[in-house]
Amino acid sequence: MDAHRSQPAANSARDPAQGRDPLRDTVPPFIPVIDDATPPVPPAQRPEVLIVTGLSGAGRSRAANALEDLDWYVVDNLPPQLLPAMAGMMTTVGAGVHRLAAVVDVRSREFFASFMQYLGQLRESRVRLRLIFLDASDSALIRRFESSRRPHPLQGTGSILDGIKHERTLLAGLKAQADHVIDTTDYSVHDLARRVRELVATESELALQVTVMSFGFKYGLPMDADHVLDVRFIPNPYWVTELRHLTGRDAPVADYVFAQDGAAAFVDAYADLLAPALPRYLDELKPYVTLAVGCTGGRHRSVASAERIAARLRARGLDVVVQHRDLGRQ
């Protein structure tokens, strides 16, 4: 029913008496169009659109990768007339697209004029729009093109520098409208990713996620473990009849494990040793760390130790999830 109701409105927009609407002429009728009839949405609830553009060779592809790592829906080389259509498909609820990043490559005056037209429409729409412009010095761009052995897309029969100068002139107005200008001249790919994260990541996305996982060595090492701790030196509660049917999450087992000589001190010292180092993983763009704690079967000693390590790390302010990979396999 809704699709049939929207069809007359789309047809009326093409009425010659009212003039042609270039946006509606390029958008299929089943895609919502942002127009004056769209009800206002409070800013805090608006879907986010991020336009990533800038000079060729300044790092657009690396910025796109960083945004994908932050769970943005990234579209590369999107034609400008589709920007409002993509924004109209976004939502703030459910499993739809909440955050859209469009990587735009402006390579001609016609393309640039079209892009500026639709950029203006987006700024007046129901989405939260930001524009990131990537820049770099001429020498840095020349070095990057020469190292990749690829021509500049605008150099034609001229030099790489000719192409860069042409592009700078073409994009000067767009750079002036950018919300953020990032000069990547002295950036490594990791520096650029960090800067993009600083600009767009939420507080929760900037936090480190630590997983403490218990496992049994007889089932193999966890493939995704960053650190592995072996607690098989602790006497095994499995050989205590009244503890065999319990797990390391049960108090009698945990009490038995940490009553053994040196067990509690060893586990606590291990957590204290790692605690100051774990936040540094974020500096290397690794937001997830897995600590694996193993015993023979992954039921008693490793489970109790994983729970104790997690509690100690949480007391240090870290966000910790506990997983018991092999619990229940016996």
DSSP category for residue 281? G
- Number of neighbours of residue 141 by Cβ within 10 angstroms: 24
Whether pLDDT at 10 is above 90: no
pLDDT in tens, 89-126: 776 666 667 888 989 886 655 677 777 878 887 877 77
DSSP H helical ranges for the chain: 2-12, 22-26, 60-69, 83-88, 109-123, 138-148, 160-177, 189-200, 241-244, 251-259, 263-274, 301-315
In CATH terms, the fold of domain 31-200 is Rossmann fold (3.40.50)
pLDDT in tens, 122-173: 877 778 889 999 999 999 999 999 998 888 888 888 999 999 999 999 888 8
pLDDT category at 210 given cuts 50, 70, 90 is very high
What gap in Å lies between CA 46 and CA 216, rounded to an integer?
Answer: 47
43's CB contacts (< 8 A; 6+ apart) are 128
Mean pLDDT of the chain: 83
pLDDT at position 21 is 46
What gap in Å lies between CA 53 and CA 60, rounded to an integer?
Answer: 7
Q: Count the helix, strand and coil residues of the chain and give each as a percent rounded to the nearest 5.
A: 45, 15, 40
pTM: 0.60
Bridge partners, residue 73, by sequence: 100
Sole residue written with tokens 């030196």: 233
pLDDT at position 276 is 94
What gap in Å lies between CA 30 and CA 293, rounded to an integer?
Answer: 53
pLDDT in tens, 283-317: 787 888 999 999 999 999 999 999 999 999 999 99
pLDDT in tens, 238-248: 999 999 999 99
With beta carbons less than 8 A apart as the criterion, state whether 92 and 99 touch. no
Give the residue extent of every domain in the chain: 31-200, 209-324
